[in-house]
Every structure is written in structure tokens, then in C-alpha cells.
Amino acid sequence: MEIFELEPKLMWKNFYMLTQTPRPSGHTEKVAQMLVDFAKQHGAEAFIDDAGNVVMRKGATPGYENRETAVLQAHMDMVPQKLKESNHDFVNDPIQTYIDGEWVKAKGTTLGSDDGMGVAAAMSIIEDETAEHGPIEVLITKDEETGMFGAFGLKADTLKGKYLLNLDSETEGEITIGCAGGMDVVCTLEYQEADVDPEGKTAFRINLKGLRGGHSGLEINEGRGNANKLMARLLFAAVNTGLATLCSWSGGDMRNAIPREGEAVVLVPEEKVEEMKALVEKCHALFNFEFSAIENGNIELTIEPCDMPAKYIPTEIQENLINAVLAAHDGVLRFIPTIPDIVETSSNLSIITIGNGKASIALLARSSSDSMKLYLCNSLKACFSMAGMKVKFEGGYSGWQPNTKSPLVKMMSEVYEKMYGEKPLVQVCHAGLECGIIGVNYPDMDMASFGPTLRSPHTPNERCLIPTVGRFYDYVKELLKNIPEKC
């Protein structure tokens, strides 16, 4: 059975169309044009704005002409993560989906249900002749996953709607009314490499993989292993005991994904090869023991001979870099004091690239408190500055502050309870949503976020719970029927 045969067919057909259109962050031209063509094919106005966002407009159905305009908002890009053994090319290849019980998954890659499900819902409303609604605007933003560039580039006069439904939350039955802000902390260093004297040495490649990874906002509180931090522990022990000299190191490839894999090339004196191998075996066992309840014994840590590199990282530089990575905060820093179940402040030590005379280390700091976000960023800057690195803050944005008296949320709660016989959970989340950024230019717009149930976004284990998709789409349609009339 193919996913486009699932119910509701309109939603799954449109999601399937998205899986067949490559759309990794930074490469959204194809999907943007596909969305514009789709909208026009179904009689809607559509265009791509100066920031690369897709905007669609559809008139009211009979009897709903006097309703306020509602905005359906989602993002078109997806996180391009894959298993190491996968040959998938995100820029050119379609996503290969399959059904596993009640879940839809992808073969060896991220699925793109974040936020393909939100986009598919907006497409379906444009197409659905049975949907009843007032005037609709659809905003599909560009490159949300790499810095919310589409939302930042949205002009203040593009949208006319009074109510915005963000379709980018990941648990059905929840309504999100606030989220954390973020800041990229980018640390760089250029250094003079040293020539390798191969005599009496063996080169080894250390590989770390098998970690779950995950969304650095939604799953940072679960204590999942960070490949960069684990590799730092091994390298710290090896370098400081004279077992190894570091030549290169890489780990992670997305700012908002907990890194799942890492690799380092080291030089080992021939008389210490067995001791080095024993250290790797010890760390392998230790890491799996420490994370047994979280990573399920799936952490792989291996050491294999490799070609002799021509250069290595000078001793002082490699020690400083390893020390800084080991010392830098990663994970939850604080929970919201008044809502102790929700993370307030965290950091994700996301990307390490060291070699060829250059070192780059990237972290994503999140917080719903601007002062705590600044404190965390400054503490990371202090840490990496002591290693001689140049530190920049980039792409900063404030959180989306919750409006507990929102008329939209009151209506959404009432509609959900009437449809499903239970109250939805109204909450704030630690993930980054575009509502706060959009709200800067549209301060009077009432907003809320919701979606079907997704798990492990930003990883190759991303999956979408099939039964929640129908409930989600029915809810979207019912909400549009209940948008208030114009005053």
C-alpha cells in the first residue's frame, strides 16, 4: 500500500507530492514553484515574494463572505538527515516512504513530515471543494529549519489576515501558544598545520554512530547522547595521556539536530596502538552503559586503520579545542520556573568541522527568556574564546510570548472539545516556531500552532502517526468554519 492510498486521501496525496519534490533547506526553488503551480491549477492566486516565501489566496465559500481572513502557515523546507550508509541525494532524489503499522516513515532519511504535513493541509484546503471557509491566505515560508529566513524576510504589508493558524506543531491534541527564541553561536579559528612524521606512528579513523539524535528543541530534555560531546570525552582521554594526536574531527551537520554521528582521524604511536584500541573499547562500553535507557545499546564506536594524513593539528591548538568542546554547555540549562515541565533554556553543540587549518564549531542556544538566552550565549562565547576562537552570534530571534487571553485559542479549544469530547492541552514549547517573528510585523494578529503527531523529527527515524492526520485535517476544516465574522 502506498501512502497516497491512506485516508484522508487529499492530505496523503498532497503529502506524497511533497515527498516527490526535493526540498532540503537551502534548495526550495523546485517546491516553491510546484506550490505556485498547484495553487493556480486550483483557482487560487499565488506568488513567490521577495524572501522566497509562497503566498496563496483563496476567496470565501458561499455564506462565509463576511468572515475575517484566516492565514494558514507552514514551512516548505525539510531537514536533510540520513543514515551514514544511505546514498540519498536530498537535492535531487524523492523521499522513499513506507507504512509501518500505524506510522509512515522514510527509508534511511528524514521523512519531511516536519513541516510537510502542514504544507499538505494548506494545499488540501486550497483544493478541497467540500471545505467551508471565509477568505483564506496561505503562507509557506522558506528555510525555516536553517534560520527562519523566510519569516524574517516577510514584509509587513503581505498578509491581510487577522487570525494565523501555524501548522507546525507535533502532537495532535495540543495547541501551542508560545515558544523559545534562539541564537546561533558560531566559533571559528584558523591555525597553521604541522607536518606529520609518519615514522613509528599509525593513523586511525574513529567513528561514532548509532545515536538517536533528534530535534534540539523538542527532544533536548530527553538526555539523548550528543556525538560531539561523546567524541570529546574520548579524545580528551586519548590526547591527554599521550595515546593519540588529533589530525581532524567532524560531527553533526544541522544546527537544530542533536548530532548522531562523528568522526576523528588520529595518529597513534605504534607502541600504544593496543592501549588506544582498549580505550576505544572502554568508551564504547561506558557510553552504552550510561545511555542504556535512552540509546538502547545502539551506540557504535569503532577504530580502524586509515591512510596516513600529511598534517596534524598542533598540540596546543588540539588541546584547546578539545577542552572547549568538553567544557561547553550542551543540553538543558534551566526549566521555566513557573512551568517546570517545559524547558526554558538549552544549547545544542551541533556541528564540529576541524581540519585543513580551519576549525568551526556551531551551537544553537534557545530560551524563552531573552536574558537567559544572552547569559547562555555569553557563557559559550567565554568558553570558546579561551580556546582562541573568534565567536559570533547570528540569526537571533526572540521567543513567541503566549497570549493566555487569545480569542482564537478560546475558539480552538471549544471546537476541539466539541469534536473529540476532550479538552486540548494548551501549552508553550521549547522548539522554535515562526509565529514570534511574524508577529513583529503583524502585532495585532492572533496566532496559535497545532499539528498531527510526529516523532523524532530531524532524524532518519522521523515518523508520522497515521490516525492523527485525519483528525488534524478535520480540525483545520472545522476551525475555518468557525473563524469569527468581521466586526
User: Residues 227-250: pLDDT tens digits?
Assistant: 999 999 999 999 999 999 999 999
**Whether residue 384 has pLDDT greater than 90:** yes
Phi and psi torsions of 354, nearest 5°: -130, 125
What does the pLDDT look like over 202-226, one tens digit per residue?
A: 999 999 999 999 999 999 999 999 9
pLDDT tens, position by position, 324-342: 999 999 999 999 998 899 9
Query: What is the distance between the alpha carbons of residues 69 and 58, in angstroms, rounded to a whole number?
Result: 10
Provide CB contacts within 8 A for 402, sequence distance 6+: 177, 178, 428
Q: Tell me the three state secondary structure of residue 230.
A: helix
Please say if 144 is a catalytic residue: yes
**How high does pLDDT run on average in the chain?**
97
At the fourth CATH level, which superfamily is domain 3-180+399-481? Zn peptidases (3.40.630.10)
User: Which pLDDT value is given to residue 322?
Assistant: 98
* Predicted confidence (pLDDT) per residue in 157-192, tens digit: 999 999 999 999 999 999 999 999 999 999 999 999
Q: For residue 376, what is the DSSP state?
A: H
Residue 217: strand, helix, or coil: coil
Which member of 77, 172, 330, 344 is catalytic? 77
How many helices (H) and strands (E) would you count in the chain? 12, 25
Task: Answer yes or no: is pLDDT of 139 > 90.
Answer: yes
Residue 320's pLDDT band, with cuts at 50, 70 and 90, is: very high
Q: How many other C-beta atoms are found inside a 10 Å radius of the C-beta of residue 161?
A: 23
pLDDT classification of 91: cutoffs 50, 70, 90: very high
Q: What is the pLDDT of residues 96-105, one digit of tens each?
A: 999 999 999 9
Catalytic option among 114, 137, 143, 144: 144
Q: Which helix (H) or strand (E) holds 464?
A: strand 463-465
Predicted confidence at residue 84, as pLDDT, reads 85
Report the C-alpha gap between 332 and 338 in whole angstroms.
16
Give tens-digit pLDDT for 416-446: 999 999 999 999 999 989 999 999 999 999 9
- Residue 318: pLDDT above 90? yes
Query: Residues 120-139: what's their mean pLDDT?
Result: 98
Contact 309, 248 (CB under 8 A): yes
Q: Residue 284: pLDDT above 90?
A: yes
- Summarised one tens digit per residue, pLDDT across range 27-48 is 999 999 999 999 999 999 999 9
Cβ neighbours of residue 279 under 8 Å, at least 6 residues apart?
234, 237, 238, 243
User: Which CATH topology does 183-397 take?
Assistant: Alpha-Beta Plaits (3.30.70)
Which bin fits 329, alpha (ψ -120 to 50), beta or left (φ > 0)?
beta
Q: What is the C-alpha separation between 79 and 460, in angstroms, rounded?
A: 10
DSSP character for 62?
T
Answer whether 78's CB lies under 8 Å from 112's CB: yes
8 Å CB contact between 187 and 362: yes
- Give the pLDDT score at 262: 98
Q: What percent of the chain clears pLDDT 70, i.e. is strictly above it?
A: 100
Residue 398 predicted with pLDDT over 90: no
Is the predicted pLDDT of residue 18 greater than 90, yes or no? yes
Centre a 10 Å sphere on the Cβ of residue 292 and count the other Cβ atoms it contains: 11
Rounded to 5 degrees, φ, ψ at 429 are -135, 165
Close Cβ partners of 112 (under 8 Å, ≥ 6 residues apart): 18, 19, 23, 78, 95, 106, 462
Helix (H, G, I), strand (E, B) or coil at 312: strand
Average pLDDT (6-21) is 98
Pairing of strands 339-355, 245-251: antiparallel
Predicted TM-score of the model (pTM): 0.90
Percent of the chain with pLDDT over 90: 96
The b-or-e profile of 410-447 (16+ CB within 10 A means b, else e) is ebbbebbeeeeeeebebbbbbbbbbbbbbbeebeebbb
Q: Looking at residue 487, what is its pLDDT?
A: 84
pLDDT at 128: 97
Which helix H or strand E contains 358, and what residues bound it? strand 358-367
Q: What residue segments make up the domains of the chain, in order of their start?
A: 3-180+399-481, 183-397
Annotated active-site residue 102? The verdict is no
